[in-house]
A and B are shown apart, each in its own frame.
Chain A
């Protein structure tokens, strides 16, 4: 009987909330978990460091999906193609309409 590889990844959803003084995060999949910081980038680092520690798993054993409190899913594609944004949403499939492509660039071009 063939062995099936078990998916040992644990899925955790994280929701980021914006407040006047900064950001905080929670997870509906991890009871009692919250983190806060003035800056979004710092908070995100706390989340990615803190959740594995809290759940006592390695970081690569966690599949963290993120969204803003208004429901917008976060897709992280630094300097990559924007297609991955909508692909991650599942909102865009070849059956509906083709994946958009594009880019995110923070380089300052010089003539």
Chain B
């Protein structure tokens, strides 16, 4: 339905930590997570980062489109997380714009390397997800519901300790 979604190459990854510097390079520690630890004292996961890398053909230079991220539960429904108005889905769309640096790289190189969009989502103090829960990050581009990119992960850890008193 969307030429952007149809032609995009999208990769997702989880890591312990990730950040981007001013040059656009991504610095990652511990990439390749499929299981995230859980802190029984805080009731949240260990810290982690979601990395989304989108590559598009050069024809989409300058194109603006929404990149939607959603957290799904084991049933494939929107996972609910605590918010000020109670439990609510963790879902957001960000308007992104692909840029190819033709001035610096030249037309030939830019045509070859295409448009690059890099999103890092660093959840530095964890997320209050369920222990032993199975979750999926879902990414959609340009409102296209026919194409979606998924990343499955699990939350494991020690069971909560006994409560006295």
Contact = CB atoms under 8 A, between A and B. Distances in A.
A88 B84 CA distance: 12
A93 B128 CA distance: 12
A88 B94 CA distance: 11
Interface residues of B, number: 59
Interface string B79-112: 0011111001111111111111100110000100
Interface in A92-110: 92-93, 95-98, 100-110
A39 B70 CA distance: 23
15 contacts: A69-B143, A72-B68, A74-B66, A75-B92, A76-B94, A82-B94, A96-B83, A97-B82, A97-B123, A98-B124, A102-B122, A105-B119, A106-B96, A106-B115, A107-B24
A32 interface: no
Given A18-B2, A73-B93, A78-B97, A106 B118 contact: yes
Interface in B23-80: 23-26, 44, 49, 62-66, 68, 70
A107 B19 contact: no
Given A91-B90, A96-B83, A72 B70 contact: yes
B163 interface: no
A97 B93 contact: no
B125 interface: yes
A77 interface: yes
Contact of A90 (B85, B113, B127): B85
A47 B24 CA distance: 31
